[in-house]
């Protein structure tokens, strides 16, 4: 039976085109004969060659690789990074990079990065190469060594003897790989976003922010009471800079982003961010404007550089240091140093502070505002601190989004400073904010959120890590984003306030002096989590609705705002997104649909011709009717059950306003004091 089975197998092989190897001895009993692969008719018609004598799958050609590493190298091809759309009519200025070879361009690029990482006391800069040191396919470049005896030099350090690998302008996919492989606490969520942790700091640290004071900044910047600018000297900055640079140079690899600020090409700024974490690199990839390949080739020397060594603390014994955290800005050197905090928002807001200094020098007003545009080209600005609804209200599916946080107003119109959005995620839902919810997908950074360990679904209501959970995503993730992010001159200027006292009306139409008064005052409530140590809303005043970021005296920004509003015919509005019917803890938060109805009435122009009444104390004009809003809440006094308590609370808030404004009342605006007097008269009268 065994012999019969062998014979049948041989017959089947012959019938299928196989055959017993020619010249081979007969097979031994129980051993199958050798099988020769089928040769196609074309191959059979040609002379037999040795390389054809292999066994392979006839359905496809063999791979062009001899090893697994070589096979993996074939998996990827070189490509240009993903970039936002070019601005129409943009003219690219030729530079030295345009006419040189790729090899020379790469050399000059690395030379520029090395200069950025230079220790100013020991060496000119580290040896930098591109690529991930962990990848097997990339070998360490060889350096020619001269073998001779020499005397040790004090200027030589260990960092001069090693290579620092530069991961330059990586794509989101590459940064995902880096974060998940090497950064504990990084995960891909069910929506495709990258969930990360910012460490011990889950909010900004404004008390640890320093600005170098020198001959120029002494006179130009706002110092003293109420100012966010805390001084440090040049020497202390250099100590911290050396500490940050030494830390970055001690690492096997650093991430480098070369990007832009300001969509107005005539006034954009080139920025370089050097960081130690993929999370930080992806965050800034989203938040800054992403250059296209041509712009990247012509990038050259940056206008401003950030050294983010946030995983490494500052020396608390260094002069001017009050903790292990320090965020330092040197406007003369055009540099920023971050030590002791991994909260990515420090980079974003640090650059915003820089723009608050650079843009007014060009006659451009820098704004802490959201901005959107209607179908008819009507632009609205939304001023407000974090938590006042600035991001939510400027993200409207019925209007084009120019930006959600930082803008410039020049003679050309408005332009977004950033290339992305940084939205609060606490209690986020698809129903309440669909555009923001749907923007959380691959490429988005989710900070400090909590998710299911199995499904990776995010629970936006869980505040176990912090209430200040955030999402950073490119602006083009919003379906109705306007690319390029520029627009004509604004028609409406909306000042948002989160009134924790519950006595300001939901909407008020402002005169020009009132607009300036409330812009300078910047009343709101610090919403829990936006700053380190804040656990519940607290009434506060923040000049220009962003005192933590401005550089010049608030009245200078207010004067520029009034000038542009008068010149281009914009109307000012005060919108309360806080409480009504009682103060925080007693009344209720004004519902978002009500606020949206008010904003829609402003956009449409219906509120311009509405019937108004005037409130006592603050003298605000409030409409008697707004479609979609209960009339009883338009006048806050009507929403309070205890009228006596309302009056006491109103007077208390008015007193806080007047006390806060004392620091600004003595500042002269313009050639005479007339404008200052008008602004003072626009405040509350007790």
Q: What ranges in 403-511 are assigned the alpha helix state H?
A: 434-439
Strand, helix or coil at 219? Answer: helix
The residue from 122, 165, 204, 482 that is catalytic is 204
386 catalytic residue (yes or no): yes
405 catalytic residue (yes or no): yes
What are the counts of helices (DSSP H) followed by strands (DSSP E) for the chain?
19, 31
The residue from 305, 391, 515, 530 that is catalytic is 391
Q: What is the DSSP letter of 20?
A: B
Q: What is the DSSP string of 421-432?
A: EEEE-TT--TTT
* Residues 367 and 356: beta-carbon distance below 8 Å: no
The residue from 122, 209, 349, 509 that is catalytic is 349
Reading the block at residue 341, the tokens are 């905090």
349 catalytic residue (yes or no): yes
614 catalytic residue (yes or no): no
The residue from 132, 396, 404, 405 that is catalytic is 405
The residue from 390, 482, 491, 583 that is catalytic is 390
CA distances 468 to 207, 427, 448, 449, Å, are 18, 11, 8, 9
The residue from 164, 386, 392, 394 that is catalytic is 386
Those residues whose C-beta lies under 8 Å from the C-beta of residue 666, and which sit 6 or more positions away, are: none
The residue from 165, 209, 277, 368 that is catalytic is 368
By the 10 Å C-beta count (0-12 exposed, 13-18 middle, 19+ buried), 680 is classed as: middle
Q: Order of strands, edge to edge, in the sheet holding 127-130?
A: 127-130, 163-168, 253-261, 269-275, 304-309, 335-339, 326-330, 209-212, 231-232
The residue from 470, 491, 509, 553 that is catalytic is 470
Q: What is the DSSP string of 581-631?
A: SSSTTTSEEPPHHHHHHHHHHHHHTGGGGS-EEE-SSS--EEES--TTS-H
By the 10 Å C-beta count (0-12 exposed, 13-18 middle, 19+ buried), 611 is classed as: exposed
CA distances 485 to 84, 87, 265, 282, 640, Å, are 10, 9, 11, 20, 43
606 catalytic residue (yes or no): no
φ/ψ of 546, rounded to 5, equals 175, 50
Residue with tokens 């830390």: 247
Catalytic residues: 204, 349, 368, 386, 390-391, 405, 470
């Amino acid at each position: 039976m065994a012999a019969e089975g062998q014979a049948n197998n041989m017959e089947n092989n012959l019938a299928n085109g196989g055959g017993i190897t020619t010249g081979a001895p007969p097979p031994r009993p129980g051993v199958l004969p050798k099988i020769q692969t089928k040769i196609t008719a074309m191959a059979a018609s040609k002379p037999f060659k040795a390389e054809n004598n292999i066994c392979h799958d006839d359905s496809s050609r063999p791979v062009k690789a001899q090893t697994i590493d070589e096979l993996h190298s074939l998996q990827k091809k070189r490509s240009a990074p993903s970039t936002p759309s070019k601005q129409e009519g943009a003219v690219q200025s030729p530079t030295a990079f345009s006419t040189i070879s790729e090899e020379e361009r790469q050399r000059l690029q690395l030379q520029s990065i090395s200069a950025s990482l230079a220790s100013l006391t020991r060496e000119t800069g580290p040896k930098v190469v591109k690529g991930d040191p962990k990848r097997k396919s990339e070998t360490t470049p060889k350096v020619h060594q001269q073998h001779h005896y020499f005397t040790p030099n004090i200027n030589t350090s260990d960092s001069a003897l090693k290579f620092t690998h530069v991961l330059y302008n990586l794509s989101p996919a590459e940064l995902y790989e880096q974060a998940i492989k090497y950064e504990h606490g990084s995960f891909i969520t069910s929506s495709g976003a990258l969930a990360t942790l910012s460490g011990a700091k889950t909010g900004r640290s404004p008390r640890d922010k320093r600005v170098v004071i020198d001959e120029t900044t002494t006179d130009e910047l706002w110092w003293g009471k109420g100012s966010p600018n805390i001084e440090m000297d040049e020497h202390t900055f250099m100590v911290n800079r050396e500490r940050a640079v030494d830390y970055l140079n001690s690492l096997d690899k650093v991430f480098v982003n070369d990007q832009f600020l300001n969509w107005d090409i005539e006034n954009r700024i080139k920025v370089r961010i050097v960081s130690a974490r993929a999370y930080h690199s992806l965050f800034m990839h989203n938040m800054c404007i992403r250059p296209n390949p041509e712009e990247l080739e012509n990038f050259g020397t940056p206008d401003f550089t950030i050294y983010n060594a946030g995983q490494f603390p500052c020396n608390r014994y260094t002069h001017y240091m009050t903790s292990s955290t320090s965020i330092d800005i040197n406007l003369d050197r055009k540099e920023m140093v971050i030590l002791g905090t991994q909260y990515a928002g420090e980079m974003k807001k640090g650059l915003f502070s820089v723009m608050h200094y650079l843009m007014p020098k060009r006659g451009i007003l820098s704004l802490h505002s959201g901005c959107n545009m209607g179908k008819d080209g009507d632009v609205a600005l939304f001023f407000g601190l974090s938590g006042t609804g600035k991001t939510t209200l400027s993200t409207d599916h019925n209007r084009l989004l120019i930006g959600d946080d930082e803008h410039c107003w020049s003679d050309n119109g408005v332009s977004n400073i950033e290339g992305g959005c940084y939205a609060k995620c606490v209690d986020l839902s698809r129903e309440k904010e669909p555009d923001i919810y749907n923007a959380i997908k691959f490429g988005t950074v989710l900070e400090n959120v909590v998710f299911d360990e199995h499904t990776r679904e995010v629970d936006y209501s869980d505040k176990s890590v912090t209430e200040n959970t955030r999402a950073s995503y490119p602006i083009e993730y919003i379906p109705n984003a306007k690319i390029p992010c520029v627009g004509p001159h604004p028609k409406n200027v909306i000042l948002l306030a989160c009134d924790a006292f519950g006595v300001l009306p939901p909407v008020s139409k402002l005169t020009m002096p009132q607009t300036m008064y409330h812009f300078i005052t910047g009343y709101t409530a610090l919403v829990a989590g936006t700053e380190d140590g804040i656990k519940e809303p607290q009434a506060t005043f923040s000049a220009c609705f962003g005192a933590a970021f401005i550089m010049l005296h608030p009245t200078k920004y207010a004067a520029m705002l009034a000038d542009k509003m008068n010149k281009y015919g914009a109307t000012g509005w005060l919108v309360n997104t806080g409480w009504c019917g009682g103060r925080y803890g007693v009344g209720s938060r004004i519902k978002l649909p009500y606020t949206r109805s008010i904003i829609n009435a402003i956009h449409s122009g219906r509120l311009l011709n509405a019937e108004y009444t005037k409130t006592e104390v603050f003298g605000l004009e409030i409409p008697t009717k707004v479609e979609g809003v209960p009339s009883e809440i338009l006048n806050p006094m009507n929403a309070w059950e205890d009228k006596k308590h309302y009056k006491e609370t109103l007077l208390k808030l008015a007193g806080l306003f007047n006390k806060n404004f004392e620091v600004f009342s003595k500042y002269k605006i313009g050639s005479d004091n007339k404008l200052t007097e008008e602004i003072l008269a626009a405040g509350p009268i007790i």
